[in-house]
Amino acid sequence: MAISQLIMQITRIILLILLVTVSSYSYAERIKDLASIQGVRENQLLGYGLVVGLDGSGDMTTQTPFTVQSVISMLTQMGVSLPPEITLQLKNVAAVMVTAMLPPFARPGQTIDVTVSSMGNAKSLRGGTLLMTPLKGANGQVYAMSQGNLLVGGVGAAVGNAKVQVNHLSVGRIPGGATVERAVPTVLGQGDFINLELKEMDFTTASRLVAVINSELSPATEIAAALDGRTIQVRAPIGSARVAFVSQVENLQVDPGREGARVIVNARTGTVAMNQMVTLENFAISHGNLTVVINSDIKVSQPNPLSKGKTVQTANTTIDIQSDKGGLVMLNKGVSLGEVVKALNSIGATPQDLLAILQAMKSAGALRAELEII
């Protein structure tokens, strides 16, 4: 009997340890998802070109003279001279802008995807072919050459007696449509160190990230230190071993700090989004035909004399929203911003009413959150 009880106790301890371990990592994220390596980034490329082979859906050349000038310039470079008095009337050509992202460590000969966008009045780029277009970086140098057949989405739909075109026909993509001609120098760190940059500045996350790197990769010597709330400096090996080291760092699990309370409001649609529950302080506000009053009543419960009880405080929060149209909403016990917004919507508050009330709450200090309007 004693042995069976001992086994049961050991089993309970193991289950408890597993439960604590799982719960401790339930919200953990990889460093790769929270931070990036400083200096390892993409570069934007841009070019101007021509799309040919369109089925009468190209630019109207009388309204887009730059398309005709581009065609004449291209023909001149190919040895074709046109008389000055000839006016080209093109229907199958469109002037376009070509954009691409040059990934880090890209080498000459590799291919990247490109996006082709009409800059004139072409009706559609479907079925077109992009002629050889140099793609330049911010310094004006050519880093890739693009050419190929466009892939344009879009389907036709019949609505009543009318035919409606769904999706966008003035933008297309060419998968693998550009070949890298020049590499961008990318250095993985500087000297003995690499710098990690948090995607969102947070001192708590930075300190936890430093603690995880030091405990997992170098318990004896600290190799990581936070320079500020965004940048973490890490001592890394030199040479080819640095790649494997960065891989280890990126896959470490970190429990990030909680973000500050934030409320995002779309002023056009009235949509309200919150990243966490935001409680409100006492306040009263009148806006047009709406009146909002929030009160918190804190009650203290004292234990009986000579008892082992504890003093307990309970907060009873009420909210009254009144409208001249006859609307009345009352909520109790820990009112959150989400409940306030829901109550306002239930009595017909417009997006502008909601936006004005939230701004007033923020200015009065009743809304303890960052208010962002988009």
Beta-sheet pairing, 290-301 with 283-287: antiparallel
User: Angle at the Cα of 170 (from 166 to 172), degrees rounded to 5?
Assistant: 95
Q: Going edge to edge, which strands form the sheet with 231-235?
A: 35-37, 193-198, 231-235, 224-226
- The reported pLDDT for the residue numbered 305 is 62
- The reported pLDDT for the residue numbered 190 is 83
Confidence band, pLDDT 50/70/90 cuts, at residue 51: very high
- The reported pLDDT for the residue numbered 347 is 67
| Termini Cα distance of the chain | 68
Domain extents in the chain: 43-180, 187-254, 262-373
User: Is the model more confident about 111 or about 266?
Assistant: 111
What is the chain's mean pLDDT, rounded? 80
Task: Return the residue matching tokens 């947070």.
Answer: 202
Per-residue pLDDT of 272-284, as tens digits, reads: 787 766 767 766 7
User: Is the model more confident about 301 or about 343?
Assistant: 343
CB 327 within 8 A of CB 342: no
Could you tell me the fold of the domain covering 187-254? Answer: Ribosomal Protein S8; Chain: A, domain 1 (3.30.1370)
Inform me whether the pLDDT recorded for 216 exceeds 70: yes
The CA distance from 217 to 206, in Å, is: 16
- The reported pLDDT for the residue numbered 177 is 95
- The reported pLDDT for the residue numbered 26 is 45
80-84, 147-151, 231-235, 342-346: which has the minimum mean pLDDT?
Answer: 342-346
User: Is the model more confident about 38 or about 28?
Assistant: 38
- The reported pLDDT for the residue numbered 44 is 96
User: Is the model more confident about 285 or about 159?
Assistant: 285
The CA distance from 30 to 250, in Å, is: 6
Per-residue pLDDT of 226-250, as tens digits, reads: 999 999 999 999 888 999 999 999 9
Q: What is the DSSP letter of 302?
A: P
Confidence band, pLDDT 50/70/90 cuts, at residue 341: confident
80-84, 104-108, 160-164, 350-354: which is most confident: 104-108
Residue type, 295: N
Per-residue pLDDT of 150-176, as tens digits, reads: 999 765 555 555 555 566 789 999 999
Inform me whether the pLDDT recorded for 120 exceeds 80: yes
- How is 117-131 classified by DSSP, letter by letter? EE-S--S--TT-EEE
Q: Is residue 67 exposed (0-12), middle (13-18) or buried (19+ Cβ within 10 Å)?
A: buried
